[in-house]
Every structure is written in structure tokens, then in C-alpha cells.
Amino acid sequence: MLCITQPQIIQAIHREYLDAGADIIETNTFNAQRVSLADYDMQDYADQMNRAAVKVARAAIDEYKKEHPDAQKFVAGAIGPMNKTLSLSPDVNNPGYRAITFDEVADAYYEQIKALDESGADILLVETIFDTLNAKAAVYAIEKYYNDTQKEKLPVMISGTITDASGRTLSGQTLEAFYVSMMHANPISIGLNCALGAEQMRPHVEELANLAACNVSAYPNAGLPNAMGEYDESPEQTAAIVGSFAQNGWVNLVGGCCGTTPPHIAAIAKEMSKYKARVLPELVLV
């Protein structure tokens, strides 16, 4: 809602991350679709929120480019996982129950995607995926929107989240299953974010790097939260771990999620200057 009521606050935050070295900034639209917004009786603002969020992010980039005219900066329209899941029942006594249908999820995402595209996003980022069926509904909505409009499709980035040491998503998929389930979307990148800090994410990033035929992204939290929900990992610590991903040739795009401040991004950007991006595997047709 701040994108509508206090856009200067959000623009200033975007600008801090741009100044820190971010090349891609996400719109402030995580879960800004009518299903999640219904919890606050704000579902009718979904379209307006997404349009305002892109406008604010674009304004921050335009402001930055006045001082750095040769810079390449991009707006990623953030499409979050939703607060309802298609794969799991919220009723422990009725495992077959679902709180929402596939069509309802897809329709909500369609409205969000339409607003993000029409207002000028450069990328669509389906992120923090804990239920691949929800993500499939988002991808379906993307495909339907571009089929309906016959517009040029924006690049799609996909990022899942591994929730514990088992190496599975919350809905139970292994990382390989998640990758195979999402590759029909033909994303420019697939990766992991949130839930874990970089150190805990390490084996999963390595596994994904060995699986993926496209670019691999990783934007972890600044470690795991403490008892008060705060993040204690320093920018230098986060950057060193993420840097090791690049040193091993596992990643093409990196960044930060929960707890990562502009100093974290600045440290990561500095560390990345030492390394080359992951080399995509050569595909052989058989």
C-alpha cells in the first residue's frame, strides 16, 4: 500500500540498493494479488498496487541513470507464492481438502501479471516457490496472458525455496523434481531464495548448478534468524559464502533475500567482481 500512499519511501529504498550495486530490483509486490490481499480486505487494490510498484521502481532507476547514464538496471516484477496452497490441505483432519482451486490461483496471478507487464516491468519473477503447483498456475497465467494479448513475452525468472535440511520444498518435492516440473516455462534462470542462509543453501545450489540447462540464481537470507527474528550475519560473511558459489562456477545471478541490507548487496557486488559467471552446459540432442 505504501507504493500508492507513500511512493517516495519505497523509491528511496530502491535507490539504496541501486547505489549498493544491484542490477535488478524487485517491485514491492510480493503476494500483491487478490487472494493474499483478501486477508486485509484489500483485494480490489491488487491492480493499482502492482502498477504503482512498477512505477516507483522505474522512477528509482530513471533517477539513478541520470547520474549513471551507461548503467543497465532492470525492474523484476515480483510474483510471490500466495498464502494458500494447491498441494496441501489446511485441515489436518481432511487431507483431501483444498482452500482454493487452480483456476482461482491462475486468475489472481493473471491480474497481477497483466498489471506488471502493462506498467513496464522488464522481467517476471516467480519466486519463493514452496508449492510447485502454485508456481505452475503462475506460469499458466503468464502463458495465457501473452497468448491473449499477442504481446512479446517478458523474460521469466523462477526461484524456489528449500525449507529444511531434507532438500525438499514445503510441499515435498526434491530439488530435481522441482526443476523438472518448472522447465516447461523456459525461464531465463532458475534458482533458490529465502528460507535458508547461504551456508545452508550451499549443497542445493551446487545440485541445481549440475541440473540446470539455463542460468542459475541464488539470493539467500543473511543467515538464519535469531530468537527475535533478526538476522545477525554480516555483509562480509554473506558475501564470502555467496562468493564461494561463484568461485565454484555454480551461479549466474546472485543477490539477497531476508535480512540482506544495502551493505550486504554492496559486499556481494564487490565479491562478484572477482569471478566469472557459470558456464551453461552444452545441450546434445539424441
Binding-site positions for Zn(2+) read 194, 257-258
Closest CA to 3 of 49, 44, 60, 43: 49
Sign of torsion over alpha carbons 248, 132, 255, 235: negative
Q: Residues marked as binding?
A: 194, 257-258
Query: Measured between alpha carbons, how far is 111 from 205 in angstroms, rounded to an integer?
Result: 32
Sign of torsion over alpha carbons 161, 185, 81, 221: positive
**Continuous segment of H or E residues that includes residue 8:** helix 7-20
Half-sphere exposure of 241 (CA within 13 A, CB side): 24
Among left, alpha and beta (phi > 0; psi -120 to 50; other), residue 186 is: left
The two beta strands, 123-129 and 253-254, are: unpaired
Task: Give yes or no for a contact between 231 and 222, defined as CB atoms under 8 angstroms apart.
Answer: yes
| b/e sequence 89-120, b meaning 16+ C-beta within 10 Å | eeeeeeeeebebeeebbbbbbbbbbbbbbebe
Query: Measured between alpha carbons, how far is 93 from 153 in angstroms, rounded to an integer?
Result: 42
- What radius of gyration, in Å, describes the C-alpha atoms of the chain? 18
Query: Measured between alpha carbons, how far is 85 from 243 in angstroms, rounded to an integer?
Result: 34
